[in-house]
Amino acid sequence: MMQKRSVFLIVLGIGVGIGLTGVLVAAAPSAQDELSKHQGTWSVVSFRRSDKETPEEITRSIVRIVEGDRVLWKRDGKAFAATTIELDPSRTPATINVIPEGGPDRNKRILGIYKLDGNNLLICMADAGHPRPTEFKANPRVMWTLMRLQRKTPNR
């Protein structure tokens, strides 16, 4: 009788463990699901690099357009940068890698973190070749950039 109970408890424990693993995996958003939430056009609300705030008249003229994993940056309607993004929403905070398509950092992974709250997006990026930021602030000691964006058009 004792052996049957032990076997039952082991099987029950394994079943619960597998079940909880399934719940945890199902609860974690996939990168593809998260990427779909980034789709659309975003207006730059603020842009702070190190300890310098970009003037509002400049930030107002910049938009970020996300289509798939590609991001196109425009100022006054003219494209000035294009990147690919990789998201990992399972990390805390969620991580973003930005891979520029041109310029001196072309094809390098620039590491950052992000927080998406409905139509508001906060991104903190390190300079190329530097460690990923650990908090959402522009830090003059390590040259982090903090961007606040607001969705302009609905995601698809």
- H/E stretch holding 4 reads helix 2-27
pLDDT tens digits, one per residue of 74-85: 999 999 999 999
Model confidence at 10, in pLDDT bands (50, 70, 90)? Answer: very low
Query: With 70 as the cut, is the pLDDT of residue 155 above it?
Result: no
Helix, strand or coil, per DSSP, at residue 3: helix
Mean pLDDT, residues 145-150 taken together = 97
Domains along the chain?
31-151 (2.40.128.280)
pLDDT tens digits, one per residue of 23-65: 334 455 688 999 999 999 999 999 999 889 999 999 999 999 9
Q: What is the DSSP string of 5-72?
A: HHHHHHHHHHHHHHHHHHHHHHHSPPHHHHHHHH-EEEEEEEEEETTEEPPHHHHTTEEEEEETTEEE
pLDDT tens digits, one per residue of 106-146: 999 999 999 999 999 999 999 999 999 999 998 778 789 99
